Amino acid sequence: MIERVFLIVLDSFGVGHAPDAADFSDEGSDTLGAIAGHPNFHTPTLASLGMFNIPETPCDPAAAPLGAFGRLQERSRGKDTTIGHWEIAGVVSPQPLPTYPHGFPPEVIEEFERLTGRKVICNLPYSGTDVIRDYGEEHLRTGALIVYTSADSVFQIAANEAVVPVEELYRYCEIARRMLTGPHAVGRVIARPFVGTCAADFKRTANRHDYSLTPPRPTMLDALQAAGLDTIGVGKIYDIFAGQGISQTHRTKSNHHGMEVTLELAKTNFKGLAFVNLVDFDMVYGHRNDVPGYAAAATEFDGQLAQLLPLLGEKDLLLITADHGCDPATPSTDHSREMVPLLAYGAQVKPGVALGTVQGFGCIAATVCEALGVPAEVEGESLWAAITGR
């Protein structure tokens, strides 16, 4: 029996376009392929677990991989963080969350202005760094909130911390979250605070905060918590699940910090699941088309992963996956519809098991629950027998 599961989501670390990528205008996207050839990329630990034994991945495969390996194709109709994580946790979303390629309709903006008492500027799809460059000075002059979206289902509110204190911005986001229901139930409302005095020096801060929809059905987190096990969120996991099923949370400032927290958790005697999201791959590098930065971030993670493996005991299971892609080498700065990796490692995992291509991320939820001995109704088939050879 497994006592501890470490589930690490490399946010946006796709491994090649999904068969239905053309439906999302993402044919040819390959996040891993975009970074693997860069000089900054060096991931011997991931390679040793079987990352490059996954079908159609770049680089030379390991002769004797230490883990089980495969790739997963998403069943949900989307390519965003929220439904990607929901599916990992066992909830498939057959309908896409609403998106706003031309901005939010007037009735949404007018109601938000009425409830907050502040005017709105922008209301267009925008890059987060470009929007504060183009609208930040107007915001400083007028106090109007910068509201914008992207190709994802998000309602984002940017404000300078000197004009709108962070706690006040959070309150506005809570207002938006309560307001955006029914046909306008976006996946996330996101606070995007920034600092600076003019367009030349505006900079986003680490005080971002996400307000997600509550999952429509119970997830593996609810099942584990009901069974009396620990459900520990690291990074933005608490935000993604709106706190549902999370018994303990650790907010993080970066990938590096997230792995530091994970390493410390590995030295404790918790029983249950540590669910980790490493958002920098997506937020800092993927969305900014920063191939060198993404490659360097993968290298840094690999070094910390090498520190984690010796801390795992006989009753531990490590799973590494992703929630979507965000190919930094394409003209788009949005998420990409890609397959995601699945690596499994631990004393009870049979080395070298090739899982092939698995339909649905929900196999992770089913595997976690079976490994921990918890019955759960999740949308996915467990891979526990396959990865252990039982």
**197 pLDDT exceeds 90?**
yes
Q: Which two tokens stand for residue 217?
A: 């059905």
Grade residue 302 by pLDDT with cuts at 50, 70 and 90. very high
Grade residue 100 by pLDDT with cuts at 50, 70 and 90. very high
pLDDT of residue 151: 80
Alpha carbon distance 38, 163 (integer Å): 41
pTM of the model: 0.90
Strands (E), 173-229: 188-195, 203-204, 209-212
- Specify the CATH number of the domain 106-212: 3.30.70.1250
How much is the average pLDDT of 359-364? 98
Parallel, antiparallel or unpaired: strands 340-345 and 4-10: unpaired
**341 pLDDT exceeds 90?**
yes
- Where helices occur in the chain by DSSP H, the ranges are 31-36, 44-49, 81-88, 106-116, 128-142, 166-179, 220-226, 237-240, 255-265, 280, 291-308, 363-371, 384-388
Domain ranges, ordered by start, for the chain: 4-96+215-388, 106-212
Burial class (CB in 10 A: 0-12, 13-18, 19+), 95: exposed
Alpha carbon distance 108, 306 (integer Å): 48
**286 pLDDT exceeds 90?**
yes
**95 pLDDT exceeds 90?**
no
Of 46, 51, 48, which is closest to residue 302 (Cα–Cα)?
Answer: 46
Q: What is the pLDDT of residues 200-255, one digit of tens each?
A: 999 999 899 889 899 999 999 999 999 999 999 999 999 999 999 999 999 999 99
In DSSP terms, which residues pair with 7 in a beta bridge? 275, 319
- Specify the CATH number of the domain 4-96+215-388: 3.40.720.10
Alpha carbon distance 270, 248 (integer Å): 11
Q: What is the pLDDT of residues 107-119, one digit of tens each?
A: 999 999 999 999 9
**305 pLDDT exceeds 90?**
yes
Grade residue 1 by pLDDT with cuts at 50, 70 and 90. confident
- 37 Cβ contact list (under 8 Å, min separation 6): 58
pLDDT of residue 282: 95
